[in-house]
Amino acid sequence: DGVKDFVLGRYGIHFHHAMEGSRGVVIEGNVVRDTQSHAYVPHMSNGITLKDNIAYNVVETPFWYDEEEASHDSQWIHNIAAKVSFVRSSDNGVKPVGDPNLAVAGFQLGLGDGNIARDNVVVGIAPGDPHSEGGFEWEANNEGVWVFENNIAHNNGTALRVWQNTT
């Protein structure tokens, strides 16, 4: 029909439900670029360190995991997200055609405890969803506390977007 579909699960580096099996994994010094999806996804996988990595010219939030499922003790240290966009007029069956599929940001601070985001940089988030476009995003109903230190965001719709966090 000429409308692009966003394919879930096809990400640059993806840990899927590894839980405690991923504890101690370090992803360091990598570049994920020119992808049509997320770049680094520690999805329901605990104790992963992402350090000194770059996501460039990617689609959707490059440092991300599903909003409904927690990852604990993640460390996102000294990473860069640059030139991030979304597939225009795509259809993922959730949002209306033409809207960004997911919140477009550089880093999504997801569910979980003991997580750290330190010394990261976000630049060039493409305008799209007016409720997003953040360098760093802490989504609704996100329980858990992140250590958030020395992060930089510029040339984005917002630097840090926080939406209806629970207690």
**DSSP assignment of 85-144:** E--TT-B-SSSPTTS-SS--EEEE--S-SSEEEES-EEEEEPP--TT--EEEEE-TT--S
Amino acid at 67: E
Low-confidence ranges of the chain (pLDDT < 50): 91-93, 100
- pLDDT reported for residue 85: 84
Burial of 147 (0-12, 13-18, 19+ CB in 10 A): exposed
- pLDDT reported for residue 95: 53
Which tokens belong to 127?
Answer: 């305008």
- pLDDT reported for residue 59: 84
Predicted TM-score of the model (pTM)? 0.86
- pLDDT reported for residue 4: 61
